[in-house]
Amino acid sequence: MSQPLLQVSDLTVHHGQLRALNQVSLTIGAGEVQAMIGANGAGKSTLLRTISGLKAATSGTITFDGADVARLRAERRVAAGIVMVPEGRRLFPSLTVEENLQVGASYARKGPWSIERVYELFGWMPGRRRQLAAQLSGGEQQAVAIGRALVANPRLLLLDELSLGLAPVVVARIYDTLPELLASGVTVLLVEQDVSQALRVASRVHCLLEGRITLQGEPSRLSPADIEAAYFGLSSARREPAPNPGSGE
């Protein structure tokens, strides 16, 4: 790995007076899957929204493939290869499934993904291409949202809370598509409240608490107790046996 694909350094972001992110730094190499975990309001979504360009940073740098993208607007970052699947899926409800994908492909970079390839990835989709996005179930909408991001041919795919509001079996089915995405050369940074899911797929996890990274490392080297402490902000002296954070969500 000559240079990292994404390097975030000392990123600080405010929501009005509130400091949502405080000096956050992380590095992602091409082809990796990294995960952000943390409680509600820890700043995970803010981090993804800042990397994607929807939210402006107060200070810090965001370097993508060697170039500073912190001043670029969101649509320019898509052209550079940073594409986000937003929290809550955010499909265009009055457009059909196919039209949603076509919008995603409007400003696509060259690459392996196309609407046909997305249809191969999600076999049920072609049969319902003419249906309005608003009429799909949550899991189906999530799949279309992923497809809409893929057809833009991202180099870095930001996945915000894929599991939100979905049944575990549906979540598992969506995460099952991850290997195929990675095989196509996509790098993934995901935010997940479902900690066990994040630990299962990520090569490196970061735990955010009140806007700071309190823990980072490879999942195999982190003990549940460490994660729990970082997740809830318990100091090691006060730590007590508590339920597994993975099932506690």
Partner 1 sequence: MIWVNDIIQGVLLGGLYALFACGLSLLFGVMKVINLAHGDLAIVAGYLAVGVIALTHIPAVWSFIIVVPLFAALGYLVQRTLIQASLNRGVLTTLLVTFGLSVVIENALQQFFSANSRSIGIGSLVSDSFSIGSQITIAYLDLVIFVVAVIVLLGLQYLLSSSRQGRLIRAVADDREAAQLSGADYRHVFGIAAGIAFATVALAGIAYGMYTSFDPSSGTTALLLLFAFEAVVIGGLGSLWGTLVGGILLGVVQQLGAQINSNDQVLAGQLLFLLILLVLPQGITSIRRTA
Question: How buried is residue 132: exposed, middle or buried, by Cβ count under 10 Å (0-12/13-18/19+)?
Answer: middle
Q: Which amino acid is at 172?
A: A
191: alpha, beta or left? (left if phi > 0; alpha if psi -120 to 50): beta
Q: Is 132 in the site for partner 1 (CB under 8 A)?
A: no
Q: Pattern of binders to partner 1 over 4-43, x per CB under 8 A?
A: ----------------------------------------
Q: How far is it between the farthest Cα atoms of the chain? A: 58
Q: State which of residues 59, 107, 167, 239 lies at the interface with partner 1 (CB under 8 A).
A: 107
CA distance 84 to 162: 11
DSSP per residue, 16-72: TTEEEEEEEEEEE-TT-EEEEEE-TTSSHHHHHHHHHTSS--SEEEEEETTEE-TTS
**Considering beta carbons, is residue 158 or 208 the nearer one to partner 1?**
158
Which listed residue (92, 203, 217, 225) binds partner 1 by CB under 8 A?
92
Residue 125 sits at the vertex; the CA angle it makes with 122 and 131, to the nearest 5 degrees, is 155
- List of residues 6+ apart from 11 with CB closer than 8 A: 21, 23, 24, 25, 47, 50, 57, 59, 60, 61, 62
Only segment of 122-130, 144-152, 203-211, 228-236 that touches partner 1 (CB under 8 A): 144-152
Q: Does 90 bind partner 1 (CB under 8 A)?
A: yes
With CB under 8 A, what is the number of residues at the site for partner 1?
28
For the record, the structure tokens of 55 come out as 């939210």
Interface with partner 1 in residues 204-243 (CB under 8 A): none
* Residues between 42 and 81 with contacts to partner 1, criterion CB under 8 A: 52-54, 73-75, 78-79
For position 84 contacting partner 1 by CB under 8 A, the verdict is yes
Residues 178-207 that bind partner 1 (CB under 8 A): none
Q: Does the footprint of partner 1 cover residue 152 (CB under 8 A)?
A: yes
Centre a 10 Å sphere on the Cβ of residue 116 and count the other Cβ atoms it contains. Answer: 11
Judged by beta carbon, residue 48 or residue 207, the one nearer partner 1 is 48
Please, which residue, 74 or 222, has the CB nearer to partner 1? 74
Q: Which of 62/213 has CB closer to partner 1? A: 62
Interface residues toward partner 1, by CB under 8 A: 52-54, 73-75, 78-79, 83-84, 86, 90-95, 99-100, 102-104, 106-108, 148-149, 152
